[in-house]
Amino acid sequence: MAFLEVEDLKVHFPIKGGIFGRTIDHVRAVDGVSLSLEKGKTYGLVGESGSGKTTTGRAIIGLEKATAGTVTFDGQDITNLKNKSDVRKDVQMIFQDPYSSLNPKKRVLDIVSEPLRNYENLTKKEERIRVQELMELVGLSPESILKYPHEFSGGQRQRIGIARAVALKPKLIIADEPVSALDVSVQAQVLNFMQDIQEELDLTYLFIGHDLGVIKHMCDNIGIMYRGRYVEEGSTEEIFTNPQHIYTKRLVAAIPDIDPKNREAQRQFRQEVKTEYEQSFNDYFDEEGLAYQLQPVTETHRVALPEKG
């Protein structure tokens, strides 16, 4: 059994309607997602807005109620776990926007020590020392614990968010677009740092993102989501060099090439993929335009294709 095992996870949100505001239908935000993640690895969950990638992450950590399916972490079933158990302490989340995810009225000391206060009984002094250690770990000066979030730059704030996430020495971190709101040079800083602490603390990452450049850089395995379902899953290598699903191909083709010499070729390639996408859409998606069940290609590579026969 893998370190994190998600089995057929579903998160459906009711749609209210009609004169009496009854539930008339459901939005299938996550519709049967399965993934498994090995300890110490980074798994990338990719998709466009509305694909359900963030909801998946939130359901794993319990911020969203799973309609069906199971989440097993380190051998324990943590599906819809609400209480502050030790398992919850082992799974933490980093949020997208470092500007809104930190309470502007609290000092860094209070922000970072909040999870400590929830789970551990420390004296004021011990708490302060722990926070100072954490600040050093994320590369911020220990004196800055009495400052407020607005006194920091975007990259520094994101590192404060990370300090809060690693305060309880978690084993799994769910990072929801941790660098999307940051400039490239700051992004580099945060990505480097995430790699460093991964090694240092033996962390496992579930990295949610839409920037394929970043995902490619960070992840060992990647799952591609489209409208609540997986369309393809495989190692980074397999996804980028040998994409099987037309949706993945299109996504990969859409990444701008950093070399201006390839401009024309890239444009042409993208045009070809687009034509293929339009022509063969019905071969890759069912009548509702949703992805099929995943079929194995290799041991690690799975693609959503209709069953043959």
Partner 1 sequence: MSDKLLEIKDLKTSFRIKDDYYAAVDNVHLTVNKNEVLAIVGESGCGKSALAFSVMGLHNRAKIEGNIYFKDQDIANLPPNKLNKLRGKDMGMIFQDPLTALNPLMIIGDQIGEALLLHNSELSKTQRKERVIELLNKVGIPRPEHVYEQFPHELSGGMRQRVVIAIAIANDPELLIADEPTTALDVTIQSQILDLINELKEDMDAGIILITHDLGVVAEMADRVAVMYAGQIVEVADVHTLFNEPLHPYTRSLFDSVPNKAEAKSKLHVIQGIVPSLQNLPREGCRFAPRIPWIDESVHEEHPSLHEVAPGHFVRCTCYKHFEFPGESSEEEEQHGVSRS
Partner 2 sequence: MWKFTVRRLLIMIPQIILLSIIIFVLAKMMPGDALSGLIDPNIDPERIEELRHMHGFYDPWHKQYADWVGGLMQGDLGKSFRFKMDVTELIGQRVVNSFWLSLATLIFTYLLAIPLGILSGRYNDSLLDQTITTYTYIGFATPLFIFALVMLWVFGFMVGWFPTSGSVTPGLEPGTFEYVLSKINHLILPSLSMALIATVNTVQYLRNDIVDTKQKDFILTARAKGAPESRVYNRHILRNSLLPIAAFFGFEITSLIGGSIFIENIFGYPGMGQLFLESILLRDFSVVTAVTLLFGIAAIVGALLSDIILSLVDPRIRIK
By CB under 8 A, name the binding residues for partner 2. 18-21
Query: What residue 261 binds from partner 2, partner 1, none (CB within 5 to 8 A, per partner kind)?
Result: partner 1
CB of 300 to partner 1, least distance (A): 16
* Sheet architecture: strand order including 42-46: 91-94, 172-176, 204-209, 42-46, 221-226, 229-235, 302-304, 294-296
Pairing of strands 68-73, 4-17: antiparallel
What tokens does 258 get?
């950093």
Quickly count: other Cβ atoms within 10 Å of residue 258's Cβ: 7
Question: Biggest alpha carbon distance in the chain?
Answer: 68
Query: What residue 155 binds from partner 1, partner 2, none (CB within 5 to 8 A, per partner kind)?
Result: partner 1
Given the complex with partner 2, which of 16 and 267 has the nearer CB atom? 16
- Assess 225 for contact with partner 1 (CB under 8 A): no
Q: Are 116 and 133 in contact (CB under 8 A)?
A: no
CB of 15 to partner 1, least distance (A): 17
CB of 96 to partner 1, least distance (A): 14
Please list every residue from 141 through 160 that binds partner 1, using CB under 8 A. 141, 153, 155-156
Query: What residue 20 binds from partner 1, partner 2, none (CB within 5 to 8 A, per partner kind)?
Result: partner 2
φ/ψ of 275, rounded to 5, equals: -60, -45
Q: Are 46 and 212 in contact (CB under 8 A)?
A: yes
Q: Which residue has the tokens 């997986």?
A: 230
- Assess 260 for contact with partner 1 (CB under 8 A): yes
Query: What residue 21 binds from partner 1, partner 2, none (CB within 5 to 8 A, per partner kind)?
Result: partner 2
Q: Are 224 and 291 in contact (CB under 8 A)?
A: no
Given the complex with partner 2, which of 20 and 82 has the nearer CB atom? 20
- Specify which residues 8 forms β-bridges with: none
CB of 195 to partner 1, least distance (A): 7
With CB under 8 A as the contact rule, the residue among 34, 72, 80, 266 that binds partner 1 is 266
Cβ-based burial of 7 (10 A; exposed 0-12, middle 13-18, buried ≥19): middle
Given the complex with partner 1, which of 105 and 150 has the nearer CB atom? 150
- Assess 139 for contact with partner 1 (CB under 8 A): yes
Given the complex with partner 1, which of 2 and 255 has the nearer CB atom? 255
CB of 19 to partner 1, least distance (A): 23
Q: Are 163 and 134 in contact (CB under 8 A)?
A: yes
The span of 16-24, 87-95, 119-127, 263-271 binding partner 1 (CB under 8 A) equals: 263-271
- Assess 65 for contact with partner 1 (CB under 8 A): no
What tokens does 89 get?
């302490």
What tokens does 91 get?
């799974």
CB of 243 to partner 1, least distance (A): 13
CB of 48 to partner 1, least distance (A): 4
With CB under 8 A as the contact rule, the residue among 82, 124, 125, 261 that binds partner 1 is 261
Q: Which residues, at least 6 apart from 127, have a Cβ–Cβ distance to it below 8 Å?
A: 113, 116, 117
Q: Which residues, at least 6 apart from 131, have a Cβ–Cβ distance to it below 8 Å?
A: 108, 109, 112, 113, 116, 145, 163, 167
Binding residues vs partner 1 (CB under 8 A): 48-49, 139-141, 153, 155-156, 183-189, 191-193, 195-196, 210-214, 216-218, 236, 250-251, 253-261, 263, 266-267, 270
